[in-house]
């Protein structure tokens, strides 16, 4: 019967290296978390204001045939912006995290 043994740093050999350790600067991590939280809060505030004034936006920007159509058009625009958001993150995200020369 085979027994499993745990590999600890003291039993690790030179022929079986483990993953490289990750070194992080706590101040840099805290700064990144604050920046991400601020950006997320601003994004949700923007969407909240947009949905709050959806009726007014519908009256101003869409044809005046039906108030329901105006509101649905406004919320359709809101939905399109919300759904395209991940695509923007995939396109522009790597450029924001790439190292600067």
More confident residue, 17 or 84: 84
Three-state DSSP class for residue 72: helix
SS3 at position 6? coil
* pLDDT (tens digit per residue) in 21-41: 677 888 888 998 999 999 999
Cβ–Cβ under 8 Å, residues 62 and 71: no
* Residues 43-68: tens digit of each pLDDT: 889 888 988 898 898 889 888 888 89
Report d(CA 93, CA 10) in Å as an integer.
40
pLDDT at 72 over 70: yes
Judging by beta carbons within 10 Å of its beta carbon (0-12, 13-18, 19+), is residue 75 exposed, middle or buried? middle
Q: Which residues contact 18 (CB under 8 A, 6 or more apart)?
A: 7, 12
Distance CA 75, CA 58 (A): 9
Dihedrals phi, psi of 79, to nearest 5 degrees: -65, -40
């Amino acid at each position: 019967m085979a027994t499993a043994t745990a590999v600890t740093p003291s039993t690790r050999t030179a022929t079986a290296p483990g993953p490289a350790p990750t070194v992080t600067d706590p101040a840099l991590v805290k700064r990144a978390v604050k920046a991400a939280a601020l950006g997320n809060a601003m994004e949700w505030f923007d969407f909240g204001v947009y949905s709050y004034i959806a009726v007014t936006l519908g009256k101003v920007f869409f044809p005046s045939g039906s108030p329901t159509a105006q509101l649905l058009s406004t919320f359709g625009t809101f939905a399109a912006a919300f759904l395209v958001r991940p695509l923007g993150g995939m396109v522009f995200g790597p450029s924001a995290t790439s190292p600067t020369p």
